[in-house]
Amino acid sequence: MDACLTLETEAGRQFLKLQTFGSIATPSVELLPLSPDIFALQGDLSPGAKAHGVLCLVRESDGRITGFHVSSLRSRHVLFRRLAEA
């Protein structure tokens, strides 16, 4: 399930690159912040620094995916969260 995804703002500005590894059941992700001012991360992670984590989709009760979050492998603290705009 290896894949690479670069997230952008509506204006087309790239702000986060996700590189996924592992299986569908237990995906892990390497994240590379591309902009320091677009989002907030917990911990000491700056643009150009890589971290490893677990990618989890946020789903509504009807199954719609409304966002995702990336948690650290060790502590499971949420490093990044992105929810759909209402």
Name the more confident of 32 and 39: 32
CA distance 84 to 86: 6
State which amino acid sits at residue 26: T
pTM: 0.39
* Percent of the chain residues past pLDDT 70, beyond the cut: 13
Cβ(68)–Cβ(58) below 8 Å: yes
* Cα gap 23→57, rounded to integer Å: 14
Q: In this predicted structure, what is the pLDDT of residue 63?
A: 77
Q: Is pLDDT of 32 > 60? A: yes
pLDDT at position 43 over 50: no
Q: What is the DSSP string of 9-35?
A: -TTS-EEEEEEEEE-SSSEEEEEEE--
Flag whether pLDDT at 42 surpasses 60. no
Q: Pick from 15-24, 58-67, 69-78 the range whose average pLDDT is largest.
A: 58-67
Residue 35: count of CB within 10 angstroms of its CB: 12
> 79 in helix, strand or coil?
strand
User: What average pLDDT does range 53-78 have in this prediction?
Assistant: 70
